[in-house]
């Protein structure tokens, strides 16, 4: 009798443990997946370029190198929305949208992810510094997106351009779909500027001995681009726009 009781108790404990694990897994598993869109409208005056471009996966800190949607309750903390996620890790999703946006310009011979080993004339190295919804400026949150990019001439790996692009947008409500819309608008504005800068920085023809570069021009710190718009200055958020309706 005692043995039967012990076996039953052990079975019950295992069952309870399985149920607990299942509940935890269910709670942790996202129920809604979101993505962002590429840019499809550009200045028709952008130059046609005859070189190939490879886009690296953006470098990102551990708190952003995830599929979870990041939020900041304070300037020094990171949290995440529960039960929702991006369709991919944020850096991979951003890389895909950058490539898509270059293709949508119809101004470039070829562009691809760096991982496919394209013999590129230039390499774009993005650094995803901000990609979060900030709650410490009040609700609904302000989404901040910042990318610092380096344009590298191949194969000698000379950096010929450095630029920082930053945009902020306040969501129209404190609901995940509305916050995702703010992410989409802020990232779209950053990508649009990033693509335009990349296409305009090098000469339209691939580098060659017959078309040498003035490397001194590119190494001048005064030529670094800092493009920021609509982000809070101190505690002043009056210039931060709401998402488009």
Give the total residue count for the chain.
245
What are the helix (H) ranges across the chain? 2-28, 90-105, 176-200, 215-218
Question: Which residues are CB-contacts of 34 (< 8 A; sequence separation ≥ 6)?
Answer: 69, 84, 85, 86, 87, 176, 177, 180
The single-letter DSSP state of residue 222 is G
Cα angle 25, 31, 37; round to 5:
135
Asked whether 65 and 117 are in contact (CB, 8 A), the reply is no
Residue 86: alpha-carbon gap to chain centroid: 11
Mapped onto helix, strand or coil, the DSSP state of residue 207 is coil
Distance CA 112, CA 52 (A): 8
Q: Which of 128, 243, 92 lies closest to 175 in space, CA to CA? A: 243
Q: What is the pLDDT of residue 135?
A: 98
Q: What is the pLDDT of residue 218?
A: 64
Distance CA 222, CA 76 (A): 31
Q: Which two tokens stand for residue 199?
A: 């296409």
Q: What is the pLDDT of residue 215?
A: 64
> Is the Cα torsion angle 186, 118, 159, 198 positive or negative in sign?
negative
Q: What is the pLDDT of residue 118?
A: 72
Q: Which of 113, 120, 151, 107 lies closest to 53 in space, CA to CA? A: 120
Q: What is the pLDDT of residue 206?
A: 79
Q: What is the pLDDT of residue 1?
A: 45
Residues 15-33 as b or e (16 or more Cβ within 10 Å = b): eeeeeeeeeeeeeeebeee
Phi-psi region of 107 (alpha: psi -120 to 50; beta: other; left: phi over 0): alpha
Q: Which two tokens stand for residue 140?
A: 């609904």
Q: What is the pLDDT of residue 174?
A: 97
The single-letter DSSP state of residue 129 is E
pTM for this structure? 0.84
Q: What is the pLDDT of residue 119?
A: 86
Q: What is the pLDDT of residue 236?
A: 93
Q: What is the pLDDT of residue 136?
A: 96
Q: What is the pLDDT of residue 223?
A: 72
pLDDT tens string, the chain, 245 residues long: the values are 444 444 444 444 434 444 322 333 344 566 899 999 999 999 999 999 999 999 999 999 999 999 999 999 999 999 999 999 999 999 999 999 999 999 999 999 899 998 767 789 999 999 999 999 999 999 999 999 999 999 999 888 888 999 999 999 999 999 999 999 999 999 999 999 999 999 999 988 876 655 556 666 666 676 788 999 999 999 999 999 999 86
């Amino acid at each position: 009798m005692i043995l039967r009781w012990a076996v039953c108790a052990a079975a019950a404990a295992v069952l309870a443990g399985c149920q607990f694990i299942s509940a935890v897994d269910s709670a942790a598993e996202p129920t809604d997946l979101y993505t962002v869109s590429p840019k499809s409208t550009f200045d028709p005056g952008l130059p046609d370029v005859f070189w190939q471009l490879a886009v690296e996966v953006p470098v990102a800190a551990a708190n952003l190198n995830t599929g979870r949607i990041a939020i900041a309750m304070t300037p020094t903390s990171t949290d995440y929305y529960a039960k929702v996620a991006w369709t991919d890790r944020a850096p991979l999703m951003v890389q895909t949208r950058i490539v898509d946006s270059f293709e949508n310009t119809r101004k470039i011979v070829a562009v691809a992810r760096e991982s496919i080993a394209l013999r590129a004339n230039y390499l774009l190295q993005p650094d995803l510094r901000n990609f979060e919804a900030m709650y410490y400026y009040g609700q609904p949150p302000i989404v901040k997106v910042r990318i610092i990019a380096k344009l590298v001439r191949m194969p000698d790996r000379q950096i010929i351009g450095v630029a920082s692009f930053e945009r902020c947008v306040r969501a129209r409500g404190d609901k995940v779909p509305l916050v995702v819309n703010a992410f989409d608008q802020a990232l779209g504005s950053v990508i649009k500027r990033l693509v335009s800068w990349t296409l305009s920085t090098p000469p339209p023809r691939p580098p060659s001995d017959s078309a040498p570069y003035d490397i001194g021009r590119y190494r001048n710190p005064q030529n670094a681009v800092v493009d920021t718009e609509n982000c809070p200055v101190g505690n002043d958020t009056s210039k931060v726009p709401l998402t488009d309706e």
